[in-house]
Amino acid sequence: MHRLRYEEKLAFRFFAWASQQDNYEHEHRTYNDMIDILSGTRYKSRQFGVLCDVLDHMKRHGTRSVPVEDLLGILRAYTEKHLTNLRKLAKKRRVRMRTPPETDALNILLDAFCKCGMVREAETVFGRVKKKLQGNAETYSILFFGWCRARDPKKAMKVLEEMIEMKHTPENFTYIAAIDSFCSAGLISEARELFEFMRTEGSKISSPTAKVYAIMIVALAKADRMDECFELISDMIKRGCMPDVSTFKDLIEGMCLVDRLDAAYCILEEMGKAGFPPDIVTYNCFLEVLCSLQKADDALKLAERMIEAHCEPSVHTYNMLMVMFFAMREPHRALDIWTEMDKRGCRRAVDTYEIMIDGLFDCGRTEDATTLLDEVINHDMKLSYKKFDSIMLQLSAVGNLGAIHRLSEHMRKFYNVAMSRRFSITQKKKSIGIRRR
């Protein structure tokens, strides 16, 4: 085998042949030599699969485990070949990386185990190399997530405690993902326990964010534990941990999905009491959730509440309501919103006209749509390219040649005619292709 050191394929074939001979078994040293040959040649990227076969061969032939030194050698060789980008850059710039290459490879190995649901195996591997290769924060995070996915909160908490003892700092993302995993699995009490740990022992390192509060509050609302839910809302506001737009949207959506609008309104009231009165962005965020769920009556009540709170609805507010009513096939209610904009003195934007014209065409109210289209032309408005093409197709379908001519002449001011023709032909071919399918 030593003579075949640079002919790894022949070496492996000889190694496999020898193992089948009568009254012969490979010694530890022979395995080590074979592993060294496969992981140390210029073809090592191709040989890692074969190397795994050698390890499997060891297991099948009664060898209990690979020695730690050999395992670390394999990890180091793998890293040098596969974790190239960052390490090549560091080598080029002559920067010394703090993390040993073996640790990076170990993390990839543990992550692969955990994603395959083999968390126990991952922990066993880490336990074997722990004395000679200390893991970093990422190592513990991988194991922590693994136990969270396996729905074993006790083991996950044990890993988290060990992580903190080793002076590694858990990131907010670690807590968020874990609490979200527990809540999704229906382990609300375990999620609450981790949340409390974060508020007390973990607060020195990483205090709960608005995102963590939102996940926990929605989970409690779904579990019909409303007293705890309101308690957390109050605590969040007392700590000055106000939700941003995306967090607030998640919070409201969760409340609406479990039909707890009272809790959603309570959040608005509590925000106002804490000196953070809801603004137009907050209201529109709430309204968007209601419109997406097609809760029309609740959406209209919220719009009235906005006006009562001296928060004037914006164009975006009215646009969302119109889109909802057209989706519900109620064009008359969308037209009521259109009229309401005039009463409130809200100036319409181009996209408002586009929503109305498109919606009226879809509902078969062609005359009303054409009237609004003439208004767009008279006001010299520039339609978006995509919407222009969509309206042209609608007019072609009803055979309104006059409107097609007027709109084409109008849009020449804004778009290249040849380009618009090519775009129209392409879209038409696509629509014909879809119909044929």
Cα end-to-end span (Å), the chain: 62
Asked if 208 contacts 247 with a C-beta cutoff of 8 angstroms, the reply is: no
Asked if 315 contacts 352 with a C-beta cutoff of 8 angstroms, the reply is: yes
The conformational region for residue 139 under phi > 0 = left, psi -120 to 50 = alpha, else beta, is alpha
Lookup result for tokens 């093409």 = 389
Sign of CA dihedral 326, 331, 336, 339: positive
Name residue 342's amino acid. Answer: D
Name residue 372's amino acid. Answer: L
Cα gap 171→191, rounded to integer Å: 17
Cα gap 373→357, rounded to integer Å: 7
Asked if 114 contacts 149 with a C-beta cutoff of 8 angstroms, the reply is: yes
Choose among 407, 356, 355: nearest CA to 381: 407
Cα gap 355→320, rounded to integer Å: 10
Task: Give pLDDT tens digits along the chain (437 positions).
Answer: 888 877 777 887 888 788 888 888 777 677 767 766 765 555 444 555 555 566 666 656 655 555 656 666 666 665 555 555 555 555 555 555 556 666 777 777 787 777 767 788 788 878 877 777 777 888 888 888 888 878 787 788 788 888 878 888 777 777 787 888 788 777 888 888 888 877 776 555 567 777 888 888 888 877 878 778 778 877 877 777 776 666 777 777 777 777 777 777 877 777 777 666 778 888 888 888 889 888 899 899 989 988 888 888 999 999 999 999 999 999 999 999 999 998 888 888 889 999 999 889 888 888 888 888 888 888 888 888 778 878 888 888 888 888 888 888 888 777 665 555 555 566 566 666 655 55
The first and second tokens of residue 186, run together, are: 């229906």
Choose among 76, 123, 80, 67: nearest CA to 102: 76
Model pTM above 0.75: no
Name residue 353's amino acid. Answer: Y
Choose among 2, 9, 133: nearest CA to 75: 133
